[in-house]
Homo-oligomer: A and B are copies of this chain.
Amino acid sequence: MAEFSVNQYDIMVNVFSLATVVMGVASVFFFLQRSEVLPRYRLGVTLLGITTLISAYSCYRLQVSWGEAFSVVNGTLKVSGVAFNEGYRYIDCLLTFPLLLIALVHTLDIPARQVRVLSTILAVLAGEMVVLGYPGVIATTAEARWLWWGIAMVPALIIVYQLYFGLSGAIAAEPAEAKRLARKARLLTVVSWAAYPVFYLLPLLGFGGSMTYTGTQVGYAVAGILSKVAYGVLLYRIAAAKSAQVDEVAHSLRTVRV
């Protein structure tokens, strides 16, 4: 592992801490607000809260592991010899990527049978993508890293295809405000998820050292917050918009009857 400066150490400590608290409060947000949407959208909001809770846990574990690997004493970085375990982020991806897609499917107005099929397809693809990336993560040669990157990109691209073609009918059928938000959420997914294959390639493109490493960790935190919290809030707003609409219809019906 590269040699870090005290500044880089500090940035890392603060970024892990920021990510932990953002993920943690995001899950409190989703858990409290789920009761404010119609029952049919609550499962999706529950899954968003669970996703950010998993990430709060992983970010906290990363933070603790970083603190066990390094410390700053009297202005000097001390290396404990204990390895920094990035495995927590890998497990996070394995669990949260499928959940994020399942939450999307449960937020759109898709017939129950199709919800099951789409959830399964997207979750399996997301899981495959993460699992197939692993041999490349632990690979010792550039060839193996490139190979597994390419293999993992296959399910990744099928997910993008599914989001833009498989779900296009369902998104087009949403009411205006929900449609606008769903398109945003879809774009946000593609953009924020793209950080992972890019960071994966950096060592192969000749980037390395403590500067790249620190930048990558900051980038993972930003990508995580965008793909889980910002995306989750968009999905919540889709559910909230559709719930308000039904409230209004119910209200107007009541007014007519009275």
Contacts and interface: CB of A to CB of B under 8 A. Distances in A.
Q: Is the interface of A mostly helix, strand, loop or mixed?
A: helix
Q: What is the interface residue range for chain A against chain B?
A: 35 or more
A175 B28 CA distance: 31
A201 interface: no
Given A72-B83, A80-B73, A50 B34 contact: no
A31 interface: yes
A33 B28 contact: no
Tallying the copies of this chain within the complex gives 2
A39 B85 CA distance: 44
Interface string A1-32: 00000000010011001100110110011011
Nearest to A32: B46
B43 A36 contact: yes
A61 interface: yes
A252 B33 CA distance: 29
Nearest to A15: B91
A91 B17 contact: yes
Contacts of A88: 14, 17
Contacts of A81: 73-74
A83 B42 CA distance: 45
A183 to B, nearest CB: 17
14 contacts: A17-B91, A18-B91, A18-B95, A21-B58, A25-B50, A28-B49, A28-B53, A29-B47, A29-B50, A31-B32, A32-B34, A33-B43, A36-B39, A75-B83
